[in-house]
Structure 1
Amino acid sequence: MGEVRYFTLVCDDVPYSVVLTDPGPRTMDVLKEISRLTGLSLWHGKLLIGQLPATVLGDQPEAWARAAVSALRAAGAVAQAVEQDAWGVV
């Protein structure tokens, strides 16, 4: 029996999360966009908005996360794409 070694796997595609921090003044538009992006009902989207800051999407490729942030911002929300660390924690 030899020594135990641990390795951290590195990949090119770091996962991102889409975090909503403020729905802005056009809450209904933001709810519709959340529903479109996630498949959640408007009611579940409203629950999500009630728990800000909230992760709308997790484990997404960077391009998809940035596109989702752009869509949420166009609807009037304040959102950001956050790079997850190696353990999947935002």
Structure 2
Amino acid sequence: MDDEYLLLVCDDVPHEVVLLDPGARMIDLARVVRRLTGLSLWRSKDLATRTPAAVLHGVPREAAEAAVAALRTVGAAAEAREQPPPHFLEP
């Protein structure tokens, strides 16, 4: 029996938040990453130092834009990107 995959068409394409540059305020950035992801402060600092790094995956556009704004308030460079479709949907 063949497996079939279906792609549901939604109004909102999932986004990911990518941290491009941590800036100078590393502790403040780690606190914001911790608040956004729920990671420990240690892991948040580790994630913030490994740029470029995807901080959030599969979030709605509004949530991604709010996260980018929070990261930019502490001096980091970040952007929201549309998540690419799964690899099994490629022709």
Asked if the contact 1:29–1:76 (Cα under 8 Å) also holds between the matched residues in 2, the reply is: no
SS at match of 2:45: helix
Q: CA RMSD in A?
A: 1.8
Q: Could you list the runs of 5+ residues in structure 2 that have no partner in the other structure?
A: none
Asked if the contact 1:17–1:59 (Cα under 8 Å) also holds between the matched residues in 2, the reply is: yes
Q: TM-score, normalised by structure 1?
A: 0.83
CA deviation after TM superposition for structure 1 residue 50, in Å? 2.8
SS at match of 1:48: helix
What is the aligned residue count? 84
| Structure 1 pair 10–75 and aligned structure 2 pair: CA distance change class (3 A) | same
Deviations 1:62-89 (A, max 9, x none): 000000000000011100001112228x
- Structure 1 stretches of 4+ with a deviation exceeding 2 A read 5-10
Residue of structure 2 equivalent to 1:75 = 74
CA deviation after TM superposition for structure 1 residue 8, in Å? 4.5
Deviates most, 47-56 or 27-36: 47-56
Identity %: 52
Residue of structure 2 equivalent to 1:62 = 61
Q: Could you list the runs of 5+ residues in structure 1 that have no partner in the other structure?
A: none
Q: TM-score, normalised by structure 2?
A: 0.83
| Structure 1 pair 86–26 and aligned structure 2 pair: CA distance change class (3 A) | same
- What is the one-letter code of the residue matched to 1:28? I
State the structure with more CA Rg.
1
